Amino acid sequence: MKAALVGASGELLHQARRATGRERGPDAVVEGILDFAAELHAYGAEHLGEPASAAGVAVPGIVDAEQGVAVYAANLGWRDVPLRDLLTERLGGIPVALGHDVRTGGLAEGRIGAGQGADRFFFVPLGTGIAGAVGIGGRVEAGAHGFAGEIGHIVVRPGGTPCPCGQVGCLERYASASAVSEAWAAATGDPEADAADCAKAVESGDPRAQTVWQNAVDALADGLVTALTLLDPSTLIIGGGLAEAGETLFTPLRDAIRQRITFQKLPSVVPAALGDTAGCLGAGLLAWDLLTTTDGMEVTP
């Protein structure tokens, strides 16, 4: 869990982290969130002269932001947790906003990060899986049912690798950091090899690594071109662990996208600017949207 007190312009006034504690079960995770938020609230009063006036929390999985309910998260094991109400009660009645972790990360990147000034952007973090956040006019679109932006489950290789979502050939099975790690471990015979090792091997000219890497880049470009055809963003923001490879990723990715577009306009393809604080900052911005002084927290599996 990453938590912060966030100022009006998105500045970090105080940060703290602690383990989610998911091994103790979903009820313990929820209690940990409530305790952590209460401690942060008290920290503001003691060290900054006043407690937070509103709170934001960003969680993974399926989220009903309108009702304030964390519907389901496989990695955390919870179902239908009324987090907004629980936090409002624990924090003395202040307004609380609940959001999805990737969309809140996208909100922060759009307002104060790599997408600042872009009217339309698409934020795609490449981590254990792949998700996305559709930014329009300074806000992030959730969709009618809360699934907008789920680019990781666009099928890019029909008949390909099965995905836990029930489809086969999904983008995240080919271009996520975990997918690259699996492919590189298989290529080297080293079960400990990961995507970062693959990127280093690409830079050193290893042909096996270059093949694994290019396969991932090609799949990612296929998915991104589908997304930009539908969304027409001015900026594509790529984050997550795989983006830490820098131009080892971005140079071939820009080339692959450029080769695939026809009538579409080529957007700017840029790295995320806020790193792993994006979700936490986005939670703070959600709270600022409710009121005027805030407390943001992101919970990750």
Q: Which residue has the tokens 């989220």?
A: 63
Indicate if the pLDDT at residue 222 is higher than 90.
Answer: yes
Examine domains 2-104+276-298 and 117-273 and report if their fold is the same. yes
Q: Can you give the pLDDT at residue 293?
A: 39
What residues does each domain of the chain span? 2-104+276-298, 117-273
Select the CATH number that applies to the domain covering 117-273 from these four: 3.40.50.300, 3.30.420.40, 3.40.50.1260, 3.30.450.40.
3.30.420.40
Question: Which pTM value belongs to this model?
Answer: 0.86
Please name the CATH architecture into which domain 2-104+276-298 falls.
2-Layer Sandwich (3.30)
Q: What is the pLDDT of residues 59-76, one digit of tens each?
A: 988 889 889 999 988 778
Report in angstroms the alpha-carbon separations of 215 from 53, 174, 179, 184, 251.
48, 8, 11, 11, 14
Q: What is the pLDDT of residues 19-29, one digit of tens each?
A: 888 889 899 99
Q: Which residue has the tokens 């519907």?
A: 71
Instruction: Tell me phi and psi for residue 99, to 5 degrees.
Output: -140, 170
Q: CA 148, 151, 157, 163: dihedral to nearest 10 degrees? A: -80
- What percent of the chain stands above pLDDT 90? 69
Average pLDDT, whole number, for the chain? 91
Q: What is the pLDDT of residues 110-145, one digit of tens each?
A: 999 999 989 999 999 998 889 999 999 888 998 888
- Radius of gyration of the CA atoms of the chain, in A: 20
Q: Which of 4-13, 23-32, 134-143, 233-242 has the lowest mean pLDDT?
A: 4-13
